[in-house]
Amino acid sequence: MLLDTYGRVATDLRVSLTDRCNLRCTYCMPEEGLQWLGKSDLLTDDEIVRLIRIAVTQLGITEVRFTGGEPLLRPGLVGIVEQCAALEPRPKMSLTTNGIGLKRTAQALKAAGLDRVNVSLDTLRAEVFKTLTRRDRHKDVIEGMAAAREAGLTPVKVNAVLMPGLNDDEAPDLLAWAVENEYELRFIEQMPLDAQHGWKRDGMITAGDILESLRTRFTLTEEGADERGSAPAERWVVDDGPATVGVIASVTRPFCGACDRTRLTADGQVRTCLFATEESDLRSALRSGAPDEEIARLWKVAMWGKKAGSGLDDPSFLQPDRPMSAIGG
């Protein structure tokens, strides 16, 4: 198992398939994009499947989430999902995406064995979407989410980040729309993971702000810690149910004590936390011919060194050099 010195056991693996993205969200990367990883730096499809197999069969991983960048840009995605679905024991598999490519891929991903998707959508207004993402693709995202729902990639979860002066007034509208369309909405506090290092704590939209806004239109009843478990989102029942809404308060209400995640970057590095400043290299071991047992040992060593928390509340906190697109959401 992947155990750390604080007694936490990682059972949830986040796998970044690419650092590339077809949007340029203002809270993630600059308009001109980034210096992308070279093809030789990226793990191959076979290397990704091998690492997931080791994680599932030797290290106790039960859930796999494919991320990016934008994972739908990975040409071999469907084949990767299909091979991982054949593992014993079979892990639960999900995908975090911007939704642009879902209309054409949802059916194939479901047939390959993907269980569900998380889709990022911060606004219901096409003009605001264009400002936030620097791309005019709002309609594609909406259609992609509908295609995912129709394909059975459910529950479709929606991840929304509220930005001051842009979409900070949309929380109630987003929730009403999600309830109507049977999507599960999750608001995420903006985190210091932008490539520009422009994040500021002052002025950010907090979990408290979001809940205050939602309560102007809805009755919210907290589910409680027993229901939450190790999930990052605190959840509330909306107007007596069955719909729920979640808030992932990574900055103001960190949940590090219950963290059960390990992360693999697109270039084969283990990260113990989104905000980690250190990584452990598995790609070199793979390519030097190391057996599965040695790779599993290296992964265990990496996770043993996991810190108690993200360090966001520490005055000496340093934002990771690698942006969200490189390390996976």
For the annotated binding site for GTP, the residues are 14, 65, 96, 157, 261-263
Q: Which distant-in-sequence residues (6+ apart) come within 8 Å of 288 by Cβ?
A: none
The C-alpha atoms of residue 174 and residue 182 are separated, in whole angstroms, by 12
Annotated binding-site residue numbers for [4Fe-4S] cluster: 21, 25, 28, 256, 259, 273
> What is the signed CA dihedral for 237, 207, 315, 24, rounded to 10 degrees?
110
The C-alpha atoms of residue 109 and residue 106 are separated, in whole angstroms, by 5
The C-alpha atoms of residue 324 and residue 13 are separated, in whole angstroms, by 16
Percent helix, strand and coil across the chain, each to the nearest 5:
30, 15, 50
List of E strands, the chain: 2-3, 9-10, 12-16, 63-67, 92-97, 116-120, 157-160, 184-188, 220-222, 234-238, 244-248, 261-264, 269-271, 280-281
Collapsed DSSP state (helix, strand, coil) of residue 219: coil
Annotated binding-site residue numbers for S-adenosyl-L-methionine: 27, 69, 120, 191
Q: Are 190 and 27 in contact (CB under 8 A)?
A: yes
The C-alpha atoms of residue 171 and residue 160 are separated, in whole angstroms, by 9
The C-alpha atoms of residue 2 and residue 59 are separated, in whole angstroms, by 6
Annotated binding-site residue numbers: 14, 21, 25, 27-28, 65, 69, 96, 120, 157, 191, 256, 259, 261-263, 273
Q: Are 13 and 62 in contact (CB under 8 A)?
A: no
Which tokens sit at 25? 């969200």
294: nearest Cα among 49, 90, 59, 9? 59
Collapsed DSSP state (helix, strand, coil) of residue 226: helix
Q: Are 292 and 54 in contact (CB under 8 A)?
A: yes
